[in-house]
């Protein structure tokens, strides 16, 4: 009897493990390409022909374009996935886009900033678009009471997986001759290929271990995209009537703007002020490994402190980090900033995801998570664009990083107003009677 229980327990945990391992897989893109190696390579090789101090501005604009595209697509795609029950299918397609773009970055040479920007945009579309469908699978691999733990475990594995590959890539860049390479630049290009392979290999578990959630099948004469848009329209009205969910999305949109901008702009900002590549990548690597225990710690703290208060604690630390970034001058300052961010980055994002997951109806998780993810994408439009514009106008990115404080303050203030439990009592009851819900039979 005990043996059978253990077998059943292991079988039941495999979908959650497979789901978490996708974070391990695609975090290679987040660490090596988004945060560490490509920003430095973009500044020192691809954009070296641009005017002085303009690489960070162009990098910011590149991220803005990528997020504008994915923000326009994410909500209709989420509705399509719910309508046809094809979350895994859409996840696979976006993952393949990101995997291919990552590998092609190895072809970028000196002065090829436009080609690098294009491939990076495609890679971010694959990365962010896939995460819509990845996040929407959380309610189907974990019980509601386990959302915090599983979400934090996914982020922790992402830190570990992305960190291990980044460590290998750092050695490849600092000691290229150990790998038969002539220059650090060759090491950087090969690192883009390793991201492509890592992402492809470790994405396999989610497709084999996680079942596709059942959904109503559209009739043969229905256009899936139009069906998705119609469902999206109904869901938009429904989200608006979930008052606390809507308020949380606005708060998340603001504070995650600051978080995302720090992630994608910190390294190129460090390169611009003269900090050596070994310190920049080494500090990002430190964030990956420190992020593991701190993310798990945030999941543990929720046993004693409500999830919302844990997020607010993280936002207070981020505000201090933005202030410190303005005064950054030396490699030691960059390392201190990295440690500060590592303490709260994974926890804030993981707990935001799990808090939202508890506030939404499970059967419409892809559509609601599309609104969640579109908040991230629109945040990714404003933050980097503001950072780049301020840097270009002032001639220094220091004013760009200090401007991020407003996002943490406003986002935190709105989050204080959110009452997560109210939705399940009042709003949900109201919506069950009044909210317009569009089924496929109505389309």
Q: Token pair of 24, please?
A: 């391990």
Most confident of 54-63, 141-150, 210-219: 54-63
Q: Give the pLDDT mean for 211-220.
A: 62
Query: Pick from 256, 240, 247, 26: which is nearest to 133 by CA?
Result: 26
Asked if residue 430 has pLDDT above 70, the reply is no
Q: Give the pLDDT mean for 369-380.
A: 67
**The domain 18-209+223-427 belongs to what CATH superfamily?**
MFS general substrate transporter like domains (1.20.1250.20)
Query: Pick from 152, 170, 383, 363: which is nearest to 266 by CA?
Result: 383
> What integer pLDDT is reported at residue 427 of this predicted model?
42
Asked if residue 217 has pLDDT above 70, the reply is no
Q: CA-CA distance, 256 to 267, in Å (whole number)?
A: 18
Q: CA-CA distance, 119 to 2, in Å (whole number)?
A: 52
Q: Token pair of 58, please?
A: 């162009």
Q: CA-CA distance, 245 to 251, in Å (whole number)?
A: 10
Asked if residue 325 has pLDDT above 80, the reply is yes
> What integer pLDDT is reported at residue 12 of this predicted model?
62
* Percent of the chain at pLDDT exceeding 90: 30
Report helix, strand and coil shares of the chain as percent, to nearest 5: 85, 0, 15
Q: What does pTM read for this prediction?
A: 0.74
Q: How confident is the model at residue 203 (pLDDT cuts 50, 70, 90)?
A: very high
149 vs 128, 153, 275, 344, 357, CA distance in Å? 22, 6, 37, 16, 12
Pair 207, 95: CB distance under 8 Å? no
Of the two residues 366 and 125, the one the predictor is more confident about is: 125
Most confident of 188-197, 236-245, 409-418: 188-197
Pair 377, 70: CB distance under 8 Å? yes
The three-point CA angle 172-178-182 to 5° equals 75
Q: CA-CA distance, 362 to 31, in Å (whole number)?
A: 31
> What integer pLDDT is reported at residue 20 of this predicted model?
92
Q: CA-CA distance, 409 to 386, in Å (whole number)?
A: 17
Q: Give the pLDDT mean for 110-135.
A: 92
Q: Give the pLDDT mean for 254-270.
A: 83
Residues 6 or more apart from 66 whose CB is under 8 A from it?
A: 120, 121, 124, 125, 128, 380
Most confident of 144-158, 206-220, 340-354: 340-354
> What integer pLDDT is reported at residue 27 of this predicted model?
93
> What integer pLDDT is reported at residue 14 of this predicted model?
85
Q: Give the pLDDT mean for 410-425.
A: 79
Q: CA-CA distance, 145 to 428, in Å (whole number)?
A: 18
168 vs 45, 160, 238, 242, 266, CA distance in Å? 21, 12, 47, 46, 21
DSSP result, 355-370: HHHHHS-GGGHHHHHH
Q: Token pair of 311, please?
A: 């997020």
> What integer pLDDT is reported at residue 125 of this predicted model?
92
Q: What mean pLDDT value characterizes the chain?
A: 81
Task: Give the lowest-confidence range in 167-176, 189-198, 358-367, 428-437.
Answer: 428-437
| Domain residue ranges of the chain, discontinuous segments joined by + | 18-209+223-427
Query: Pick from 70, 208, 210, 84: which is nearest to 132 by CA?
Result: 70
Asked if residue 377 has pLDDT above 80, the reply is no
Pair 78, 70: CB distance under 8 Å? no
> What integer pLDDT is reported at residue 211 of this predicted model?
85
Of the two residues 218 and 12, the one the predictor is more confident about is: 12
Q: Give the pLDDT mean for 217-223.
A: 53
């Amino acid at each position: 009897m005990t043996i059978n229980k253990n077998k059943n327990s292991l079988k039941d945990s495999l979908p959650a493990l497979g789901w978490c391992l996708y974070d391990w897989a695609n975090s290679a893109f987040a660490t090596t390409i988004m945060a560490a190696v490509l920003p430095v390579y973009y500044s020192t090789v691809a954009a070296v022909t641009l005017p002085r101090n303009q690489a960070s501005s162009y990098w910011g604009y590149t991220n803005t374009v990528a997020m504008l595209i994915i923000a326009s697509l994410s909500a209709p795609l989420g509705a399509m996935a719910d309508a046809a029950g094809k979350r895994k299918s859409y996840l696979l397609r976006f993952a393949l886009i990101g995997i291919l773009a990552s590998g092609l970055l190895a072809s970028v040479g000196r002065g090829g900033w436009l080609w690098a920007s294009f491939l990076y945009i495609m890679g971010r579309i694959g990365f962010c678009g896939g995460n819509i469908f990845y996040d929407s699978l959380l309610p189907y691999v974990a019980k509601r009471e386990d959302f915090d733990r599983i979400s934090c475990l996914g982020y922790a594995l992402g830190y570990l997986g992305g960190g291990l590959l980044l460590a290998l890539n750092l050695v490849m860049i600092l000691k290229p001759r150990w790998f038969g390479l002539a220059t650090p630049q060759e090491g950087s290009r090969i690192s883009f290929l390793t991201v492509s392979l890592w992402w492809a290999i470790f994405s396999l578990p989610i497709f084999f271990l996680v079942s596709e959630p059942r959904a109503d099948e559209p009739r043969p004469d229905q256009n899936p995209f139009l069906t998705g848009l119609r469902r999206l329209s109904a869901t938009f009205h429904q989200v608006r009537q979930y008052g606390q969910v809507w308020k949380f999305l606005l708060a998340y949109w603001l504070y995650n703007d600051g978080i995302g901008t720090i992630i994608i702009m910190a390294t190129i900002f460090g390169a611009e002020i003269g900090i050596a590549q070994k310190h920049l990548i080494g500090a990002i690597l430190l964030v990956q490994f420190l992020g593991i225990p701190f993310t798990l710690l945030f999941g543990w703290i929720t046993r004693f402190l409500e999830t919302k208060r844990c997020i607010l604690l993280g936002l207070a630390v981020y505000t201090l980090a933005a202030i410190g970034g303005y005064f950054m001058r030396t490699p030691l300052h960059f390392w201190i900033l990295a440690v500060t961010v590592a303490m709260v980055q994974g926890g804030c994002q993981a707990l935001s995801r799990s808090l939202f997951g508890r506030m939404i109806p499970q059967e419409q998780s892809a559509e609601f998570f599309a609104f969640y993810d579109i908040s991230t994408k629109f945040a990714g439009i404003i933050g980097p664009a503001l950072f780049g514009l301020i840097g270009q106008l002032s001639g220094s990115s220091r004013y760009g990083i200090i401007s991020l404080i407003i996002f943490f303050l406003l986002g935190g203030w709105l989050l204080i107003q959110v009452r997560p439990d109210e939705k399940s009592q009042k709003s949900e009851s109201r919506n069950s009677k009044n909210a317009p819900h569009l089924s496929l039979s109505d389309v």
